[in-house]
Amino acid sequence: MKGLVRKGIPVALALALVGVVAAAASARVQAPTKQNATALACVLLPDTKSSVRYELFDRPYLAKAFKAAGVSYSISNAQGDQQKQRSQADQCLTNGAKVILVDALNSGVGASIENLAAARKVKTIDYDRLVLKGKASYYVSFNNVSVGKLQGRGVVAGLKAKGMYSKKPVVAELNGAPTDNNAKLFKQGYDSILKPLYANGTFKKGPDTSVPDWDNQKARTIFDQMLVRTGNKINGVAAANDGLAGAVVASLQARKLKPIPLSGQDATPQGVQNILAGWQTMTVYKSVRAEANAAAKVAIAIIKGQPVKTNATINNGSRVVPAIFLTPVTITKRNYELLFREGFLRRNQVCVGKYRKYCN
């Protein structure tokens, strides 16, 4: 056996040398050929910290849509690292992508990716998050101002249900990352509901703070500080997503305080559990399946040279971008089973452990 191995080594080396020489000779007489694309569609997801949705929902739905269309694809997650997301974009271009779906960590890195892609004549699609002053050909998302309005109405409804509406309740705002344009749009939405109530004295405006990077641990610290500053006198919170709402719940529970009206977003398993247990008033269901399918459809149309149908436009700060806006839905205790019926969540993701008793 050992003798065979020894004899095999020089043979392998000789074959390798022949290959190298042949390749070199070929290179001298032939023009270089373009490598076939290994992924015509490339998806850049931002992280797993701001929301569990990206790996739980976006990745599998996008993969399924591209597979069904017979389009080669790659999906990468930057895990919160801007340089990594830029490197992933470089790899997309190296692999021959014809279109890149960009769910950017922030507009800075997003614009740099889209500028690079444009220079290589590769089209980009802003997916879920708009890249300010970017060069995307299309934007696919939900109407994020409408999302914020649902959140604001949810807080108002919660205060009415608790008999607090007419008692000048203090409402705090726990906003998303200041670098995320979506967070700006969510706040624009809930402020459009809450500001008139602050202005006429129905509500008192409490602390209003953005959470860097949508970091839930930082959100917990920020809300702890809000409670300290107000002597625990916060009666409702407009929280920009379920992760931030979870930080509010943890803070209240640690201080043995009672639940207060609290908004959320993304319809995550934990968010729905908090709703069922009475700690969160509502969340916003944005069908990632619908969003992923819509974005994949646009990408596939671009790759196949087909027309793209849009239903809106949005100004990204430097140009008007054709857009596809989908409709968000409020989720409360009354209609949470919609998430099961549509296959967005499974009952065994929500109705487990101490939360089982709350389910119908």
pTM of the model: 0.79
Residue 37 corresponds to which amino acid? A
> Per residue in 318-357, is it b (16+ CB within 10 Å) or e — as a string?
eeebbbbbbebbbbbbeebbebbeeebbeeebbbeeebee
Half-sphere exposure of residue 153, counting CA atoms within 13 Å on the CB side? Answer: 12
* pLDDT 10s digits, 122-173: 999 999 999 999 999 999 999 999 999 999 999 999 999 999 999 999 999 9
Within 173-277, where are the H helices? 181-199, 216-230, 242-254, 269-276
The predicted-structure confidence for 313-341, as pLDDT tens digits, reads as follows 999 999 999 999 999 999 999 999 999 99
Helices (H), the chain: 2-29, 53, 59-69, 82-94, 107-119, 144-161, 181-199, 216-230, 242-254, 269-276, 288-303, 338-341, 347-350
246: helix, strand or coil = helix
Please choose, from the candidates 197, 173, 163, 358, the residue with its C-alpha nearest in 3D space to the C-alpha of residue 248. 173
Residues 6+ apart with CB under 8 A from 162: 260, 261
Tokens 């920020």 belong to 222
> Alpha-carbon distance 78 to 47, whole Å?
6
pLDDT digits (tens, 9 = 90+) for 186-219: 999 999 999 999 999 999 999 999 999 999 999 9
Say if CB 325 and CB 142 are below 8 A apart: yes
Q: To 10 degrees, the CA torsion angle through 84, 209, 215, 340?
A: -110
How many angstroms separate the CA atoms of 219 and 239, rounded? 10
Sign of the torsion angle spanned by Cα atoms 145, 102, 244, 356: positive
Q: Which domains does the chain have, with CATH numbers?
A: 41-136+287-326 (3.40.50.2300), 144-286+331-358 (3.40.50.2300)
Q: How does pLDDT run across 76-129, given as a tens digit for each residue?
A: 999 999 999 999 999 999 999 999 999 999 999 999 999 999 999 999 999 999
Question: Which token pair is 178?
Answer: 């200041």
Q: What is the reported pLDDT for 22?
A: 37
pLDDT per position as a tens digit, 27-68: 333 333 334 578 999 999 999 988 888 998 999 999 999 999
Round to whole Å and give the CA distance between 323 and 106: 19
